[in-house]
């Protein structure tokens, strides 16, 4: 195992898995690599390489900085799936993917592609900063996990569940990382300032705070953009983890209402994440919808904790809290 030093934009000074020849090749994590597209929009890009084993200076002006952030986010996500769920890499086969940074000009997004087994980050534009934060990296890598497990089709209700899976594990990875400069939260993309006013891209306690995402399921939700039909499942995960009502976590204030007005008692993020991961990998399929996700998570919770457990009750109550019933 070889380690260099990353001076990231979002996570401070961190340890990075590098190769002895000074490249961003994480030999302890399936040789996951980080490449520089240098504003191009095609091809694999060029593997970041030395002159030394220090990467970036914390500013976006230094081309290595985005590489350091992306490489770190991929490592944290790898470690989360390995250490928490026993999954070795996106496919579970120990093989790393790769990241591409500096995609195009003024590009304000990031994306996963099955075709290259890689994820790609824009540098942002205007107020929007580079997309290379921990939660965005975990979100994109989780699209790879979903593609290699449940294969949730990226449209309709299954598309919303696909998106929610990426947001759910983005939050789980960020909390698990415990990075002092980017603490865990139930917000998505809060470091990017994509709206230019300091607000995050999405809120999991009350998704409608973004004015587009839905808080609860309704007939027809499959017809809206998957980044908004994800709202109820993100909300379910928050309710199951933390419970309904007001709460402050790591300095962030949340207030999560339920659609039925009834309270939910949270079971903690670790159990909620385990239930979603097991449902994703053993119960869901490509066409799973909200009703199917309820059935799948209840089956998992019953297997793990027993039919009369507080966990099964919480799962049931959280689904009811987003208008998904029996």
Q: Which residues are catalytic?
A: 140, 227
Q: Examine residue 111 and tell whether it contacts ligand ASN (CB under 6 A).
A: yes
**Interface positions with Zn ion (CB under 5 A):** 166
**Nearer to ligand ASN by C-beta: 77 or 295?**
77
Minimal distance, residue 170 CB to ligand ASN, in Å? 10
Question: Residues 6 or more apart from 94 whose CB is under 8 A from it?
Answer: 30, 88
First to last CA, the chain: 50
Binding at 110: pick from Zn ion, ligand ASN, none (beta carbon under 5-8 Å per type): ligand ASN
Report the distance separating Cα 208 and Cα 288, nearest Å.
Answer: 23
Binding at 138: pick from ligand ASN, Zn ion, none (beta carbon under 5-8 Å per type): none
Q: Examine residue 69 and tell whether it contacts ligand ASN (CB under 6 A).
A: no
Write the CA distances from 147 to 50, 115, 231, 294, integer angstroms. Answer: 33, 11, 20, 20
Report the distance separating Cα 274 and Cα 269, nearest Å.
Answer: 8
Q: Examine residue 218 and tell whether it contacts ligand ASN (CB under 6 A).
A: no
Q: Examine residue 192 and tell whether it contacts ligand ASN (CB under 6 A).
A: no
Residue with tokens 């898995």: 17
Listed ranges 69-77, 106-114, 275-283, 306-314: which one lies at the site for ligand ASN (CB under 6 A): 106-114
Under rule CB under 6 A, which residues in 130-149 are in contact with ligand ASN?
A: 139-140, 143
Residue with the closest Cβ to Zn ion?
166
User: Is residue 86 within 8 Å of 156, Cβ to Cβ?
Assistant: no
Minimal distance, residue 231 CB to ligand ASN, in Å? 13
User: Is residue 241 within 8 Å of 249, Cβ to Cβ?
Assistant: no
Q: Examine residue 155 and tell whether it contacts ligand ASN (CB under 6 A).
A: no
User: Is residue 108 within 8 Å of 194, Cβ to Cβ?
Assistant: yes
| Positions in the binding site for ligand ASN (CB under 6 A) | 109-111, 139-140, 143, 163
């Amino acid at each position: 195992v070889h380690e260099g030093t990353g001076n990231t934009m979002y996570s401070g000074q961190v340890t990075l898995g590098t190769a002895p020849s000074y490249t961003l090749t994480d030999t302890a994590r399936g040789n996951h690599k980080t490449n520089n597209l240098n504003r191009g929009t095609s091809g694999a890009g060029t593997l970041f390489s030395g002159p030394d084993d220090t990467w970036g200076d914390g500013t976006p002006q230094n081309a290595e900085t985005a590489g350091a952030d992306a490489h770190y986010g991929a490592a944290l996500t790898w470690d989360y799936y390995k250490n928490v769920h026993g999954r070795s890499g996106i496919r579970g086969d120990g093989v790393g993917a790769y990241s591409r940074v500096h995609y195009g000009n003024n590009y304000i997004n990031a994306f996963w592609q099955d075709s290259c087994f890689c994820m790609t980050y824009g540098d942002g534009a205007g107020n929007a900063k580079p997309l290379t934060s921990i939660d965005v990296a975990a979100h994109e890598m989780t699209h790879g996990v979903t593609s290699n497990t449940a294969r949730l089709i990226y449209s309709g209700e299954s598309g919303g569940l696909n998106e929610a899976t990426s947001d759910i594990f983005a939050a789980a990875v960020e909390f698990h990382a415990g990075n002092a400069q980017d603490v865990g939260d139930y917000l998505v993309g809060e470091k990017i300032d994509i709206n230019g006013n300091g607000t995050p891209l999405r809120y999991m306690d009350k998704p409608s705070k973004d004015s587009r995402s839905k808080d609860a399921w309704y007939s027809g939700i499959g017809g809206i953009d998957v980044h908004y039909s994800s709202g109820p499942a993100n909300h379910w995960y928050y309710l199951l983890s933390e419970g309904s009502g007001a709460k402050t976590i790591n300095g962030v204030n949340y207030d999560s209402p339920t659609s039925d007005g009834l309270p939910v008692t949270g079971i903690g993020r670790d159990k909620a994440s385990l239930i979603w991961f097991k449902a994703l990998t053993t119960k869901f399929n490509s066409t799973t919808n909200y009703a199917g996700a309820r059935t799948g998570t209840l089956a998992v919770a019953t297997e793990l904790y027993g039919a009369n457990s507080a966990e099964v009750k919480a799962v049931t109550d959280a689904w009811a809290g987003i208008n998904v019933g029996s």
